Amino acid sequence: MNERKQHVLNAAKRLFLENGFANTSIQNILDEAGISKGTFYNYFNSKNECLISIIEESTGTASVLREELAADGPDGPEVLVEQILVRLRMNREQKLIRLYEAILHSGDPELRDYMKSVHLSELAWLEQRLTEVYGEQFRPYAADAALMEFGMLGQYLQFAPDITSSEELSKRIRFVIRRTEALLRDMAENDEHLLEAGQFDLRADSPSLPAPGRVAEEMLRLAETLPHESRGTGREFAGFLSTELKSEKPRASLMQSIAVPFRKLFDGLPNEPEARTVMSALWRLLKSSNLK
């Protein structure tokens, strides 16, 4: 990931959030980023791909922060609230989620399919979390609850006015989550559900796990890009993580505790997005059964 490419992505993101995807022309991006058309098409094959890169960066970051939250302490509804907040807060005042939907309903089949898979994996994540938080007995109803919670949340974010403060946002999420609890109880009482457990899982197009060796390499390389004052710490962290990664039986809980402060070393740095991408790969490995 070129630093220049990241610069273009940031410019495009700014414009998309400000004026919407359809209302942002490639020429606008070129002007904003100060590059030529040839360069743009060197980085992306189309305007769509540029957008997909932005979404991928965003979803990757969200999943890293969510895993970090889960690794922080005992699980519970409050953790779920914070995990959902992560996604919403990260979307800079809820503008990215509108971007999502604009694309989801756009005419372009390529974009639609991609966004649909993003949406489905989000639903699958929520279904899984609901059973973790509220107990196995709700598993048959978790898919329905996830779908409904998603719909409710979407409406509250879109149509209720003035989500300025972060407290207002969190108030709405808590409200919706309490409603979801009521829905789970109600469905369980009446033993009613429309969807099947695991309905949203689409293992088909889930990308294969990254190679541990490659992730280790990337982390070591990243540590070298740190400024002098944090480079030593970074080297220690990256070194520990990569040796654990390559060892016979990696100690996952240790790694989880180290992954958080290591990633935070890159906060505010130009390659912060890249760091998050790499850490996203690490978390996927940590969550996968063959490493646990």
Binding site for its own copies (CB under 8 A): 19-23, 98, 101-102, 104-108, 119-120, 123, 147-148, 150-156, 159-160, 171-172, 175-176, 178-179, 182-183, 185-187, 190, 192, 194-195
What is the smallest separation between the CB atom of 148 and its own copies, expressed in angstroms? Answer: 4
**198: helix, strand or coil:** coil
Q: What residue has token string 């980085």?
A: 43
Q: Which of 20, 37, 185, 243 binds DNA (CB under 7 A)?
A: 37
**Which residue number, 78 or 101, has a Cβ lying nearer to its own copies?**
101
Residue 38 binding: pick among its own copies, DNA, none (C-beta 5-8 Å cut-off by kind): DNA
Q: Which of 20, 31, 36, 261 binds DNA (CB under 7 A)?
A: 36
Quick check: 49 and 11 in contact, CB under 8 A? no
What is the smallest separation between the CB atom of 39 and DNA, expressed in angstroms? Answer: 3
Tokens of 275: 């760091």
Quick check: 86 and 171 in contact, CB under 8 A? no
**249: helix, strand or coil:** coil
User: How far is CA 93 from each of CA 2, 88, 90, rounded to the nearest angstrom?
Assistant: 28, 8, 8
Q: Is 13 in the site for DNA (CB under 7 A)?
A: no
Phi, psi of 256 (to 5 degrees): -60, -40
Q: Is 251 in the site for DNA (CB under 7 A)?
A: no
Each residue 219-238 as x (binds DNA by CB under 7 A) or -, in order, gives --------------------
**Half-sphere exposure of residue 116: CA atoms within 13 angstroms, side-chain side:** 10
* Three-state SS letters, 166-216: HHHHHHHHHHHHHHHHHHHHHHHHHCCCCCCCCCCCCCCCCCCCCCHHHHH
Q: Is 214 in the site for DNA (CB under 7 A)?
A: no
Q: Considering CB under 7 A, how many residues would be counted as binding DNA?
A: 20
Residue 105 binding: pick among its own copies, DNA, none (C-beta 5-8 Å cut-off by kind): its own copies
Q: Is 24 in the site for DNA (CB under 7 A)?
A: yes
In angstroms, the first-to-last Cα distance of the chain is: 29
Using CB under 7 A, list all residues that contact DNA: 2, 4, 24-28, 34-39, 41-43, 45-48
